[in-house]
């Protein structure tokens, strides 16, 4: 493929290049959130030319999956294959076909949505382990790609398999959503020439999900696109939320319960707070669900400054889910022009401010580059406190982002979303100073503190702006940064 024509995924393409040049058999696992472009990447890279490709079907029986397998094998090889009795026989059929296939190039096999094949008592995973360990791993010209949106299954059953596939994969590709830089490049490639303010707004709704972005109409404004995709009846994304969780998690209602609880507290929740809000039992099942949501990219475990790991804060970081609970759930179908009609609504302004914070948290590498500390080892965390008379803290305070640096400096990052330069007035200046004072008193931090302001268009220069020692603007978040 011509990688120069492909937006993003440079590292992934380079890694696939190395796999294709390798002299040994390759077992490549590709995983990431639903709609992130896994299948598109593989199909584009290999130009849909495989020795064999097969995709699992959602919520189907073993018999149906095996029937589909034989049908695909027959169609793609030009031979007639009967329906195998089980997955061991199915992999024997695949082995026979690949052995007899005459080719000077690699035998590339692609199994998409593999988690859907591993249904209860199907025997699929053990059969695949037998196939790979007994034969596949010894075939120098075999490249076997497994892919799936159920990230938790891909991680547990393949990437971190403790059984027959332990340490067997040769390449592990986790596809992240596009960054702001990649999103801008993608939109340009689609003929959409929006301002960075509009692109940031789009990102706050869709995240960097290539599939969502592909639905945008270049003839419409951003607000018109959002209305037609999310708020018109039968819009392309009107039922996305239902499919998003049901196709990934078996007990999806419990997962949705966790996500919905987190959507109501933007600053995040501790494990105990999640238990109190959802009524879920504080056991291993909850730990498993939280881990699965993290691996699937829906929630993020955020450190609380100065606290131990057990005090970790879980935040909902999936933009679509945040948007769904904020606006779609209660408004779908009622007003096809809903998004345009609430342009100046306080709820939309509040959502913009909170979601812009998440955009900044997802672009800390760009923030560090602008601050000139890209090469400095650091940890990112959040912090807040309630009034505490014993410590001399009269008012509660919260810090959006703390960058604790190895060079004994802590950047206190204040994040503000605005449609113009942000103006610090007397009251806000006092609030910022009280925030820093509360942080010092509560944490007893001995490091040098510096206030960094992250905003859309920067801070307006006046007699109060000198409190800000460094700035990051929206444009800085669009930088292309290697991670």
CATH number, domain of 310, equals 1.10.10.10
Compute the distance between CA of residue 344 and CA of residue 327 in angstroms, rounded to an integer.
14
Per-residue confidence (pLDDT) for residue 104, from 0 to 100? 84
Q: Is the domain of 75 the same as that of 204?
A: no
Does the pLDDT at position 81 exceed 90?
Answer: yes
Q: Is the domain of 411 the same as that of 442?
A: yes
122, two tokens: 């199907």
User: CATH number for the domain including 95?
Assistant: 3.40.50.300
Does the pLDDT at position 3 exceed 60?
Answer: no
What pTM did the predictor assign? Answer: 0.92
| Digit-coded pLDDT (tens) for 405-447 | 999 999 999 999 999 999 999 999 999 999 999 999 999 999 9
Of 124, 146, 174, which residue sits at a domain end?
174
Does the pLDDT at position 340 exceed 90?
Answer: yes
Does the pLDDT at position 136 exceed 90?
Answer: yes
Q: How many helices (H) and strands (E) does the chain have?
A: 21, 12
Backbone phi and psi for residue 366, each to the nearest 5 degrees, phi listed first? -65, -40
461, two tokens: 């220069």
Of 123, 150, 174, which residue sits at a domain end?
174
Per-residue confidence (pLDDT) for residue 167, from 0 to 100? 67
Helix (H, G, I), strand (E, B) or coil at 472: strand
Residue 227 DSSP symbol: I
Looking at the structure of the chain, the number of domains it has is 4
Does the pLDDT at position 333 exceed 70?
Answer: no
Contact 80, 72 (CB under 8 A): no
Q: Is residue 483 part of a domain?
A: no
Does the pLDDT at position 2 exceed 80?
Answer: no
Q: Is the domain of 218 the same as that of 166?
A: no
Per-residue confidence (pLDDT) for residue 331, from 0 to 100? 75
Contact 206, 319 (CB under 8 A): yes
Compute the distance between CA of residue 304 and CA of residue 410 in angstroms, rounded to an integer.
14
Q: Is residue 35 part of a domain?
A: yes
What is the rounded average pLDDT of the residues 118-142? Answer: 93
pLDDT band at 8 (very low <50, low <70, confident <90, very high): confident
Q: Is the domain of 124 the same as that of 112?
A: yes
Helix (H, G, I), strand (E, B) or coil at 74: helix
Can you give the C-alpha Rg of the chain in angstroms?
25
Helical residues (DSSP H) of 343-425, grouped into ranges? 346-361, 364-371
- Contacts of residue 91, defined as CB under 8 A and 6 or more positions apart, other chains included, come to 127, 128, 130, 131
Query: Which helix (H) or strand (E) covers residue 271, if one does?
Result: helix 271-278
Contact 84, 69 (CB under 8 A): yes
Contact 225, 232 (CB under 8 A): no
| Digit-coded pLDDT (tens) for 10-61 | 999 999 999 999 999 999 999 998 899 999 999 999 999 999 999 999 999 9
Compute the distance between CA of residue 258 and CA of residue 316 in angstroms, rounded to an integer.
9
Q: Is the domain of 250 the same as that of 343?
A: no
What is the rounded average pLDDT of the residues 300-324? Answer: 87
Residue with tokens 């037609």: 228
Helix (H, G, I), strand (E, B) or coil at 332: coil
Q: Is the domain of 301 the same as that of 347?
A: no
- The whole-chain average pLDDT of the chain stands at 92
428, two tokens: 């806000």
Strand order in the sheet with 171-174: 52-55, 107-112, 142-148, 26-31, 171-174
| Digit-coded pLDDT (tens) for 226-279 | 999 999 888 889 889 988 999 888 889 999 999 999 999 988 999 999 999 999
More confident residue, 72 or 333: 72
Per-residue confidence (pLDDT) for residue 242, from 0 to 100? 84
CB atoms within 10 A of CB 150: 24
User: CATH number for the domain including 373?
Assistant: 3.40.1350
Distance separating the N- and C-terminal Cα atoms of the chain: 24
What is the rounded average pLDDT of the residues 206-210? Answer: 96
pLDDT band at 1 (very low <50, low <70, confident <90, very high): low
pLDDT band at 283 (very low <50, low <70, confident <90, very high): very high
Residue with tokens 């605005």: 418
Per-residue confidence (pLDDT) for residue 153, from 0 to 100? 86
Q: State the residue range of the domain holding 121.
A: 3-174
Does the pLDDT at position 102 exceed 90?
Answer: no
Q: Is residue 482 part of a domain?
A: no
User: What sign has the CA pseudo-torsion 253, 256, 258, 260?
Assistant: negative
What is the rounded average pLDDT of the residues 300-306? Answer: 88
Helix (H, G, I), strand (E, B) or coil at 142: strand
| Digit-coded pLDDT (tens) for 374-413 | 999 999 999 988 888 888 888 889 998 999 999 999 999 9
Compute the distance between CA of residue 142 and CA of residue 397 in angstroms, rounded to an integer.
58
Q: Is the domain of 44 the same as that of 73?
A: yes
Write the CA distances from 224 to 193, 210, 217, integer angstroms.
15, 19, 9
Q: Is the domain of 77 the same as that of 20?
A: yes
Count CA atoms closer than 13 A to 473's CA, side-chain side. 11
Q: Is residue 281 part of a domain?
A: yes
Beta bridge partners of 393: 388
Compute the distance between CA of residue 333 and CA of residue 180 in angstroms, rounded to an integer.
30
Does the pLDDT at position 309 exceed 70?
Answer: no
Per-residue confidence (pLDDT) for residue 267, from 0 to 100? 85
- Contacts of residue 274, defined as CB under 8 A and 6 or more positions apart, other chains included, come to 258, 261, 262, 280, 286, 290, 314
Residue with tokens 């007899």: 100
Contact 99, 138 (CB under 8 A): no
User: What sign has the CA pseudo-torsion 413, 416, 422, 425?
Assistant: negative
Compute the distance between CA of residue 202 and CA of residue 221 in angstroms, rounded to an integer.
11
Per-residue confidence (pLDDT) for residue 211, from 0 to 100? 95
408, two tokens: 């004994």
Beta bridge partners of 31: 148, 174
Q: Is the domain of 164 the same as that of 207?
A: no
Q: Is the domain of 262 the same as that of 387?
A: no
Q: Is the domain of 253 the same as that of 315?
A: yes
Q: Is residue 40 part of a domain?
A: yes
Tell me the range of 12-26, 148-162, 329-343 where mean pLDDT is highest: 12-26
Compute the distance between CA of residue 20 and CA of residue 140 in angstroms, rounded to an integer.
11
Q: Is the domain of 442 the same as that of 472?
A: yes
What is the rounded average pLDDT of the residues 173-184? Answer: 95
Of 174, 199, 224, which residue sits at a domain end?
174
Does the pLDDT at position 155 exceed 60?
Answer: yes
Angle at 411 between CA 364 and CA 317, to 5 degrees: 35
């Amino acid at each position: 493929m011509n990688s120069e024509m492909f937006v993003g995924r440079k590292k992934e393409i380079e890694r696939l290049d190395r796999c294709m040049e390798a002299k040994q058999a390759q077992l490549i696992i590709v995983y990431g959130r639903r709609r992130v472009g896994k299948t598109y990447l593989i199909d584009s890279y290999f130009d849909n030319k495989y020795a064999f490709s097969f995709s699992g079907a959602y919520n189907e029986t073993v018999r149906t999956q095996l029937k589909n397998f034989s049908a695909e094998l027959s169609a793609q090889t030009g031979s007639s294959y009967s329906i195998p009795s089980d997955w061991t026989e199915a992999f024997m059929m695949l082995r026979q076909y690949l052995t007899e296939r005459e080719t000077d190039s690699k035998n590339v096999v692609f199994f998409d949505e593999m988690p859907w094949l591993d249904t209860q008592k199907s025997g699929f995973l053990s059969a695949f382990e037998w196939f790979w360990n007994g034969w596949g791993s010894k075939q120098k010209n075999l490249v076997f790609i497994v892919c799936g949106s159920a990230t938790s299954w891909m991680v547990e059953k393949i990437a971190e398999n403790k059984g027959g596939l332990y340490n067997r994969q040769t390449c592990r590709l986790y596809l992240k959503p596009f960054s702001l830089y990649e999103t801008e490049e993608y939109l340009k490639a689609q003929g959409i020439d929006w301002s960075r303010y509009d692109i940031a707004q789009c990102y706050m709704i869709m995240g960097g999900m290539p599939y969502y972005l592909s639905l945008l109409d270049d003839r419409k404004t951003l607000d018109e696109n959002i209305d037609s995709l999310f708020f018109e009846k039968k819009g392309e994304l009107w039922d996305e939320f239902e499919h998003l969780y049901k196709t990934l998690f078996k007990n999806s209602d419990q997962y949705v319960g966790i996500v919905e609880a987190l959507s109501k507290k933007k600053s995040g929740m501790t494990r105990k707070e999640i238990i109190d809000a959802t009524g879920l039992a504080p056991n291993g099942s909850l730990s498993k669900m939280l881990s699965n949501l993290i691996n699937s990219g829906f929630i993020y475990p955020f450190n609380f400054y100065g606290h131990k790991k057990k005090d970790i804060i879980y935040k909902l970081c999936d933009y679509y889910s945040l948007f769904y609970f904020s606006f779609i759930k209660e408004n779908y179908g009622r007003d096809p022009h809903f998004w345009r009609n609430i342009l100046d609504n306080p709820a939309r302004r509040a959502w913009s401010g909170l979601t812009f914070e998440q955009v900044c948290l997802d672009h800390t590498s760009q923030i560090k580059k602008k601050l000139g500390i890209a090469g400095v080892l650091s940890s990112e965390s959040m912090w807040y406190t309630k009034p505490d008379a014993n410590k001399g803290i009269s008012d509660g305070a919260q810090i959006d982002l703390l960058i604790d640096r190895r060079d004994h400096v802590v950047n206190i990052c204040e994040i503000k979303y605005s449609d113009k330069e942000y103006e610090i007035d007397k009251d806000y200046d006092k609030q910022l100073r009280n925030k820093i004072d509360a942080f010092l008193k509560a944490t007893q931090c001995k490091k040098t503190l510096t206030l960094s302001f992250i905003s859309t268009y920067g801070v307006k220069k006046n007699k109060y702006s000198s409190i800000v020692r460094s700035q990051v603007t929206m444009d800085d978040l669009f930088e292309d940064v290697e991670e």
